[in-house]
Structure 1
Amino acid sequence: MTHDHSPSFLNRRQALLGLAAAALGTHGDLFAQAPGSVVRFILPVSAGSGVDGIARAASHQLAAALGTSVVIENQPGAGGVVGTNAVVKAAPDGQTLSMVSNNHVIYPSVLKSLPFDPIADITPITIIGATPLVLVVNPGLPVNNMQEFVALLKANPGKYNFASSGNGTILHLAAEMFKDVTGTFSTHIPYRGFGPMLADIVGGQVHWGVGALPACKGQIDAGRVRAICVSAPQRIPAAPNIPTAVEQGFPDYLVEGWIAAAGPKGMSPDLVKRLHAAFVKAFNTQEVKDAMAKQGNTISLTSPEAAVAHFKSEMVKYAGLVKKAGVVAQ
């Protein structure tokens, strides 16, 4: 038996191997056919936020599952519009993706004009899970629990202010919900992202705010901010000492942040399916599971179809919340 090593045979063999690899689909590396390719995750949030913490904790395993390098870029601004706009303008080739939060579906209710359609201009890949929110105060305030904090605010209407990561963000709405549930008033001071907001609560320039628990935990543990409550139904295993608002007599103060993966509109169903499989693989590794548990996140990845439905239903839900909270569109 002779072996043909001629260039034409080798070319045919390489072509057949390429076809075989393509046929494997999700079983092979997503971008292995493009050496040196990079998947950019453009995050519409500042470094140190809840979304940022999740993306960075999963980035190593996402790179392994995608078969390519992963670069995380923070592009905060305008409550998240700047970064999201960069994603929706990208080519739908799977090499520019994002992780977004509730903010994505709140935009239409709080902004008079948007450079994109939050539903039509993206391709949802999966709802990754939820992250708990915590209300924190500057430790200079003489309060340790919900009752004391509410009493202080009621005794001094308008004296205290609260920070948010931007007008109409989930952190802003979570604080507005607190005001509504407790019948108190504080002045809103919007920031350009979570990092600057938390820094000024620590520094005492603002008195309180609501943040993602994973993003606040380091400052809480260090005593630089004081946690008053988590807005979850039960205490969070990652922070068992922080009581819920429910157990402190405020059963209606329930709100959490969710995290989703998405890309630009026009991504093919096959590409979405392969990307979804990569996310499932990455978030099911022990390394990422441990990181998510440590942060206090609840991970439960949905199908792309369920993610689309979730985006639509949440947009309706938050439109009602914004109206109730009296947030004026800007």
Structure 2
Amino acid sequence: MPTQNLTRRGLLAACATLALPALAQGDKPVRLILPISAGSGVDVIARAASVAVGKALGAPLVVENLPGAGGITGAAAVAKAAPDGLTLGLVSNNHVINPAVYKKMPFDAIGDFTPITVLGATPLVLVAGKGVAAGNVRELVALVKARPDDFNYASSGNGTIIHLAGEMFLEQAGIRARHIPYKGTGPMVNDLLGGQVQFGVVALPAIQAHIKSGAVKAIGLCGAQRSPAAPEIPTIAEQGLPDYDVEGWVAVVGPAKLPAAEVRRVHDAFVRGFESPEVVEAMARQGNVIRPTSPEDAAKFFRSEAARYATLARKANVVLD
């Protein structure tokens, strides 16, 4: 009798384990939480790929924006979710920056999440309002040096990668300007267009249409190389700041303790989704470089990036409550 009970319990446990991957493949939608506002570069990527990734997952993929506190609000929702594959997060550099800039965190940015894949990177671009009398790095630096009190630079929030990219530009150019943080990319871009702020760093997919229309000026790409989506825009590095190199990466995460089989299934579904012709075309059009990593490499990348941005945050003296 004890042997029969043990066998029955073992069978029940095995069935429960086997049911985990199937749960996300049923009729229940999978939430993809974005800890950032609509209109950001990561948001553009998620919405371009959601249908294809959903097909690969075998369930609708619902993109949900939960911005706030530099990405902490949305990330916290992922950390608190059940590890069943029905709640995932699409995070960016901010995820590993936050521990370096916030005095207190409601979760461990490394330990409370399961890295699934770093999908790739989206180019960032330094732009200026059309009313700013500068069209390149040299002209912008000269203008701000001459009248530093007249210039504001925008970011999508205190302590974000956009903020740190702006701080890095000021530091390497030897200039100063007033920082104006916004609650997300959308409001930031609106004020850049309206002339309330003079310049700022934005993800290329989120600002490219405004660059093409002439509503803003592209001063320089922030990465080490030009983007195939906008080859006419020179990098900041080639315009006299050779050490300037920042790009916005995008990664898929789940809650901690996501079963290994589910991690692999979700990883493979995102890879297949991003390999679909319509998504490949959309990513190329936006200038994103998609190169999905393994879950193991994603975990190593998170740790190395956390160390990198901790150093940068200290240099910029960015500390938030």
| TM-score computed with the length of structure 1 as normaliser | 0.89
Q: Is the 8 A contact 2:24 2:85 kept in 1?
A: no
Tell me how large the CA RMSD over aligned residues is. Answer: 1.6
Q: Is the 8 A contact 1:119 1:311 kept in 2?
A: yes
- Cα distance in 2 for partners of 1:158, 1:314 equals 33
Q: Is the 8 A contact 1:30 1:67 kept in 2?
A: no
- Cα distance in 2 for partners of 1:160, 1:328 equals 23
| Unpaired stretches in structure 1, ≥5 consecutive residues | 1-18
Aligned ranges 1:17-36 → 2 under 5 Å? 31-32=24-25, 34=26, 36=27
Aligned ranges 1:239-250 → 2 under 5 Å? 239-250=230-241
Q: Give the secondary structure class of the aligned counterpart of 1:115.
A: coil
Q: Is the 8 A contact 2:85 2:258 kept in 1?
A: yes
* Structure 2 residue corresponding to 1:150, chosen from 141, 146, 163: 141
Amino acid at match of 1:132: P
Q: Is the 8 A contact 2:24 2:84 kept in 1?
A: no
Q: Give the secondary structure class of the aligned counterpart of 2:135.
A: coil
Matched, 1:85 2:76: yes
| TM-score computed with the length of structure 2 as normaliser | 0.92
Q: Give the secondary structure class of the aligned counterpart of 1:234.
A: coil
Aligned ranges 1:228-239 → 2 under 5 Å? 228-239=219-230
Give the greater-gyration-radius structure (CA).
Answer: 1
| Unpaired stretches in structure 2, ≥5 consecutive residues | 1-14
Matched, 1:252 2:243: yes
1:289 aligned partner:
280
Amino acid at match of 2:44: G
Q: Is the 8 A contact 1:30 1:274 kept in 2?
A: no
CA deviation map 1:264-304 (0-9, x unaligned): 11101111011111111111111111111100001100000
Q: Is the 8 A contact 1:130 1:297 kept in 2?
A: yes
| Number of aligned positions between the proteins | 305
- Cα distance in 2 for partners of 1:268, 1:132 equals 33
Q: Is the 8 A contact 1:134 1:210 kept in 2?
A: yes
Q: Give the secondary structure class of the aligned counterpart of 2:96.
A: helix
Moved over 3 A (4+): 29-32
Higher-helix-fraction structure: 2
| Percent of residue pairs bearing the same amino acid type | 56
- Cα distance in 1 for partners of 2:307, 2:222 equals 21
Q: Is the 8 A contact 2:103 2:319 kept in 1?
A: no
Q: Is the 8 A contact 1:227 1:242 kept in 2?
A: yes
Matched, 1:120 2:115: no
Matched, 1:323 2:314: yes
Q: Give the secondary structure class of the aligned counterpart of 1:31.
A: helix
CA deviation map 1:68-113 (0-9, x unaligned): 1111111111111111111111111110111100000000111111
Q: Is the 8 A contact 1:107 1:168 kept in 2?
A: yes
